[in-house]
Amino acid sequence: MSPPGAPHVLVVEDDPHLAAGVMENLRAEGYQVSTAADGAQALGWLSGHACELIVLDVMLPGMDGFSVCRALREQGNTTPVLFLTARGDPADRVRGLEAGGDDYLAKPFHLQEFLLRVRAIVRRWDWYRSASATAATAVLRFGGNEVDFRAFRARAWNGEAQELTEKEAMILKVLAEHAGEIVSREDLLERVWGYDVFPSTRTVDNFILRLRKRFEQDPANPRHFLTVWGVGYRFLGEGEP
């Protein structure tokens, strides 16, 4: 029996043996677990419940896992998704991440690696939520921009409303927590992704570019998201004079 308040994981897997195996192991690790055998069942469950992680099989009958994840993100559900799939090629991995997934594990997988990844995602999610729990930490104001970390929404300096992705919000959170300090690309990868999900630190650069486009008055000459060449980035709340 899982302790009350334990992180809740939804396992969406059509193979009953695999679903049972995953469920039993997650329960043994102290998680609360619910299962769904297909995408429609999962979306139905998620419309009435919340959880800390969704373990989502890609090849599901009817609606595939990528479509389920896309549908969730379109509904504004930012619960982390760990894809389980029989296909392990890089193109498929990229598809999963583009669909809004957080991590990707190819079948057959090692139990301990799976549990480690689950723990890492839940820990990151916990950190983000606790770091955005109080009124003071839930909202970040800089250079005329206002970011609501809990709602994943922002209002830019020009009054434009912005919807943030989970990763954008997390990167911004890490940078804001270390305002004025240099944060390396590797640190950002570790804090936000936690794993070798992406092949290179270039991914971080792309996310920073996106944040500049959203929040800098002149993205080509940033005042808040500064590049420290060869190291990483520095966030300045007040803007560079």
Partner 1 sequence: MKATRVFQLTALALVVVAAVQVGWWLYDQHAYTVEKVLAARGAYREQTAAAQALLDAGVSPQRVGQLLPAIVVRDGRAALAPQVEQTLTSEERHRYNQYAWEGSFFLLALALCIAVIARALRAETRVREEQESFLALVSHQFKTPLASLQLSLETLALRTPPPQTARTLIERMLADLARMELMVTQILESARLERGRVELRPEAVPLAAAVARVLAPLEERARQERIVLSSDIAAALCVQSDPLALDMVLRNVLENALAAVQAAGGGRIEVQARAANGEVQLSVRDTGVGFAPADGARLFTRFTRLHGSGGGHYGTGLGLFIVRRMMELAHGRVSAHSDGVGQGARVELAWPEASAASAALQGSTT
Instruction: Report if residue 67 touches partner 1, rule: CB under 8 A.
Output: no
- As a residue count, the chain comes to 241
* Candidates 15-23, 71-79, 171-179, 204-212; binding stretch for partner 1 (CB under 8 A): 15-23
- The alpha carbon dihedral of 217, 219, 221, 224 has a sign of positive
130 contacts 177 by C-beta, under 8 angstroms: no
Least distance between partner 1 and beta carbon 117 (Å): 14
Binding mask 109-138 for partner 1 (x = CB under 8 A): xxxx--------------------------
Best CA proximity match to 52, nearest among 29, 86, 21:
29
CA dihedral sign of residues 43, 90, 202, 230: positive
Count, residues near partner 1 per rule CB under 8 A: 26
To partner 1, the closest distance from the beta carbon of 20 in angstroms equals 7
Footprint (CB under 8 A) of partner 1, residues 76-105: 84, 86-87
What is the C-alpha radius of gyration for the chain, rounded to an integer number of angstroms? 19
Binding status of residue 198 toward partner 1 by CB under 8 A: no
Q: Does 17 bind partner 1 (CB under 8 A)?
A: yes
Q: Which of 6, 37, 179, 197 binds partner 1 (CB under 8 A)?
A: 37
CA–CA distance, 139 with 127 (Å, rounded to integer): 16
Residue 203 to residue 213: CA distance in whole angstroms: 16
Span from 20-28, 64-72, 127-135, 223-231 in contact with partner 1 (CB under 8 A): 20-28
Q: Does 11 bind partner 1 (CB under 8 A)?
A: no
CB count within 10 Å of CB 146 equals 16
Q: Which 3 state secondary structure label does DSSP give 228?
A: strand
CB of 42 to partner 1, least distance (A): 11
Please state whether beta strands 182-184 and 232-235 pair in parallel, antiparallel, or not at all (unpaired).
Answer: antiparallel
Q: How far is the CB of 5 from partner 1 (least distance, A)?
A: 23
Interacting residues with partner 1 (CB under 8 A) = 14-18, 20-22, 24-25, 28, 37-38, 59-62, 84, 86-87, 107-112
